[in-house]
Every structure is written in structure tokens, then in C-alpha cells.
Amino acid sequence: MVSKINSCALTGIDGCIVEVETDISNGIPSFDIVGLGDTAVRESRERVRAAVKNSGIDFPVRRITINLAPANLRKEGSFYDVAVAVGILAASEIIPSTELGSYMFLGELSLDGRIKAVQGILSMACCARSNGIKNVFVPDANADEAAVLKDINIIPVKSLLEIVRHLNGQEVIPAYTVDINSIFSQSISDSMDFSDVKGQASVKRAMEIAACGAHNLLMAGTPGSGKTMLAKRLPTILPRMTFDEALELTKIYSVSGLLPHKSSLISARPFRNPHHTISDISLVGGGKPIKPGEISLAHYGVLFLDEFPEFGPEAAEVLRQPLEDGEICISRANNSITYPARTMLVCAANPCKCGFYLDPSRKCSCTPKMLQRYLGRFSRPIMDRIDIHTEVRPVRYDDLEKAGEEEPSAVIRERVNKARNVQLERYRGLGIFSNSELSPALIRKYCELDRVTSKLLRRAFEKLGLSARAHDRILKVARTIADMEGADAIKSWHVAEAIQYRSFDRLVSKY
């Protein structure tokens, strides 16, 4: 007797249907699993045998062969346990096999028959949905995560026995649902707000522009000037995530096993703050099995690199391509996986080695050589992808004492939404969403300057010693500033302000 059970394999953050075929025939009793499984899959034989037995069901003492089809796809992980067990029960006619085609089974078995949580449930449930499978059995602990999908039935189960009783019609488990609106409204009560930051008007303005155009940002400032505090609040002024964005992001967290217990959808934009000792692989993703890196975990959010020059030159090199493409393709000998990585990069750095170069009240003890060497550590390729430079100075005591006149995040976010909508409208059908993604050809099309303005820009270049690479960046930022005003054409004052955000270029041209 042969049975076919649906399960799922993961490639990147996407699932792929795997059919678990079970054949039980006469012969010398044995239990084999074929179909390119890794050690975890092969070991599932022992878990399944014990779980079935401890659920009070006789394990068939016959020749059992399991095939995971397609047999040429490598399968990793322990979540085939439940499908294998159900396959054996169906093949030995303990449960009816007639309707099994509309079910998918996911989960890891414990020896006593209980079902444990696994990683990547959301991706696999999405895969079931897109393949027309109506019902998905998921471990009870993963129910919240899978239940964000509305048009399929998510059946949470705690043990193998519950599945048997459900399929036999003895005790039907109702489909599990969650209220998505409540999840989204929960994140409104963010614990952080822009109004926490006192003073710093010029930096806040720079951050608002960066948020409006999704521009990458560099903050230079003395130690303790509040760079990290400001960066952490950047997600609170970015537009709220849409359901599809949240779904994609949650998938990434789900396959990395980073989804907090009992949580369903990640509805707040992520803020990732890796330490500078991080390896290249954990920054962009990789390893065995392949996992998403920090840049993917910051998808639709903010990747914050504090002490940016301390990140090695390799770290900067590997970030280059994903920053450009919005995704990262990890190619290894046996397969290649693409993770999304559409993130806003925010770098923070001391302006010099001792950190006091920009401090008006303290003296910088760096020699020109030291300064030169320090500036040399800013990776050129990454600096080329940063549109806005801003300088943060230490908070003054006067600013701390001032109370209650700072703008809250919600007000700023309102303006950001408006500017983003202008961009979405303009770039409809072009495959880009914000000014930061404009290619040189599109810059020429959308960032045209009138004669007065282009003359001003030319003069500024000559006078301030800006490099050619600054040119396109200035135009992009000027476009964003114009969009914030709702202006169609870029005017001289938009360009003038954009030039103010190239301070790092000026510093470098000085040394």
C-alpha cells in the first residue's frame, strides 16, 4: 500500500512542495528514507518509530520505504517528522488516505508523540497556499505565525494523536485565526519616539530627508553625541509596513529561527545593529545550512553600522552589491539562494580617531597623518552609496532641560508618507520605489535643473571642491527635498540644501 503526504522544503525564504511517499510491503522488516535528506532527516526514523509507538499505535513490523520527492532536491531539517509518521499511518490504513491531498503536514516529533515548533513555518504555509493546499497542520507553538494567512485553514496540533483523531473525525480541531489589525495596531505604541531626542534640529532634518527618499545616511559625531539614539528612532518615522512587506520580513525571521515565541507577524520595521566584529558571512548571509545575514534581517528596515570605520574593508565590500540590488544571492557548491535585502543603511562614525575633531568645546589631539589614515578607512565603495552625510554634536545641557516642544514621530511620519507617495506615483511601472534607487539615466530624466540652478551647482562644485561622484547624489537628495515640498521642478534652494549634506566630501577633499 502506498500513501502520498504533502510536506514542504525551504529554499531561501520560499517553500517548495515535497511529497512524502510511503510504501509498506512484505519482506524483512526495515525502515528507510530516501530522497537526499540530511542527517536530521535520516534520524527522523528513530523519532517517528518512538513517537508512533508512544502514541499507543502499533508500528508496522514490515518493510517501510519512504521517498521524499522530488528526489533530487536536498532536504534539510526535522520538520518532515510529522509527514513521515502520517504517511506510515496512512499506508497502514490507520487513518483514511482519501482526502490527504488537501493537507500539508509540518512539525518535528518528540519521542513521546508531542509535536515541537520548527523554523520557517510561514514560508511553508505560503507555499501550501500558492499550491492550492487548503489545510495545513502546524505545531501548536507555530500557530500564530502561520495564521496570518487568511485563505487557508491553519490547524494547530500538540501531538500526533490529535492529528489521528482529527483525520478520523473523532475530535475535529477548529482552524486557528489571528486578528491582523490588532497586530498592526500593537506596534503603534512604539516605546521609542523622535521626540525623545532634544535639540539636534539639523540632524533630525537630515534624517527626515533620508527617510523620505530612502537614502543611505552617514552620521559623524563625537562619542556620546547620540548617534545610536537617533538611528534607533529612524524606523519610527519610516512609513508603516504594508501586509505584504510584513509577510516577507516575517518569512526571513521565520527561516532564521529568530521569530519570538508565540508571535505572528513582525509589523514594525526592523532595526539591526550588528557589532563591528561581525563576520562577512553573518553580515550578508551564508553558512551551512545557509541562513540570512544581518542585511536581510534589516529588510524594509534599517541596518545600522556603528563605528563604521571599525568594520573591516571586506565587510564593506560584501555589502556593496546587496545595497545596490536590494537582494543578496548566496551561491555555494550545492545550491544558490537569494534573500531579499532592501534596507536603509545608516553608518555612524567618530570624525577622527580621538573623536573630538568636530567637538566645539574639546580639542582634537589627532595629527594630520592620523586623520588621513582614519578617513582612509571609510570604504570608498560604500561611501559612494551614501547620499546624506550629517554631523551630530554633543547634546547641550540647555537642550535637555527644554521640555515638550519636540516633534513626535507620528507627525514626521505623516510627512514622510506624503513624500513617499509622490515617488511611488512617479515611478509606477519602473520597478523602483524611491529617489535613492534612481539610475543615472533616470536621474537625467527626473532631476532636470533649470539654468540658474545648474549654474549654482557648477559654482558650488568649483568653490567647495566636491568630487564628481557627489553630483548624482546631490541631485537625488534635491529631488527628495523637492518632493517633500510637493514641488514638481527642482529649484535652487533644494539643491542648496542637498549640497549641505555632503560634508564628508569636503572633509576628505581637505586632507
Contact set with other proteins (CB under 8 A)? 199-202, 204-205, 351, 357-360, 364-369, 391, 393, 456, 459-460, 463-464, 481, 493, 496-497, 499-500, 503, 506-507, 510
Q: Which is nearer to other proteins, 318 or 478 (CB)?
A: 478
Q: Which is nearer to other proteins, 278 or 364 (CB)?
A: 364
Q: Which amino acid is at 492?
A: S
User: What minimum distance in Å lies between the beta carbon of 427 and other proteins?
Assistant: 24
382-398 burial string, b = 16+ CB within 10 Å, else e? bbbbbbbbbbbbbbeee
Q: Which is nearer to other proteins, 157 or 482 (CB)?
A: 482
128-148 burial string, b = 16+ CB within 10 Å, else e? bbeeebebbbbbbbbbbbbbb
Q: Are 1 and 240 in contact (CB under 8 A)?
A: no
User: What minimum distance in Å lies between the beta carbon of 368 and other proteins?
Assistant: 5
Q: Which is nearer to other proteins, 262 or 459 (CB)?
A: 459
User: What minimum distance in Å lies between the beta carbon of 357 and other proteins?
Assistant: 7
Q: Which is nearer to other proteins, 202 or 282 (CB)?
A: 202
User: What minimum distance in Å lies between the beta carbon of 15 and other proteins?
Assistant: 47
User: What minimum distance in Å lies between the beta carbon of 106 and other proteins?
Assistant: 52
Cα separation values, 334 from 19, 33, 43, 67, 330, Å: 21, 21, 22, 20, 11
CB atoms within 10 A of CB 206: 26
User: What minimum distance in Å lies between the beta carbon of 363 and other proteins?
Assistant: 9
Cell digits for 421? 507617495
Q: Are 166 and 157 in contact (CB under 8 A)?
A: yes
Residue 455 forms beta bridges with which residues? none
Cell digits for 415? 510627512
Q: How far apart are CA 142 and CA 157, in angstroms?
A: 10
* Residue showing cell 532595526: 271
Calculated CA dihedral for residues 244, 246, 251, 256, nearest 10 degrees: 160
Beta strands in 228-387 (DSSP E): 271-272, 285-286, 291-292, 302-305, 327-331, 336-340, 344-349
Q: Which is nearer to other proteins, 1 or 411 (CB)?
A: 411
User: What minimum distance in Å lies between the beta carbon of 366 and other proteins?
Assistant: 7
Q: Which is nearer to other proteins, 83 or 358 (CB)?
A: 358
User: What minimum distance in Å lies between the beta carbon of 249 and other proteins?
Assistant: 32
* Angle value at C-alpha 44, between 39 and 49, nearest 5 degrees: 150
Q: Which is nearer to other proteins, 141 or 456 (CB)?
A: 456
* Residue showing cell 507555499: 127
Q: Which is nearer to other proteins, 32 or 414 (CB)?
A: 414
Q: Are 136 and 106 in contact (CB under 8 A)?
A: yes
Q: Are 478 and 494 in contact (CB under 8 A)?
A: yes
User: What minimum distance in Å lies between the beta carbon of 326 and other proteins?
Assistant: 29
Q: How far apart are CA 247 and CA 252, in angstroms?
A: 9
Q: Which is nearer to other proteins, 97 or 200 (CB)?
A: 200
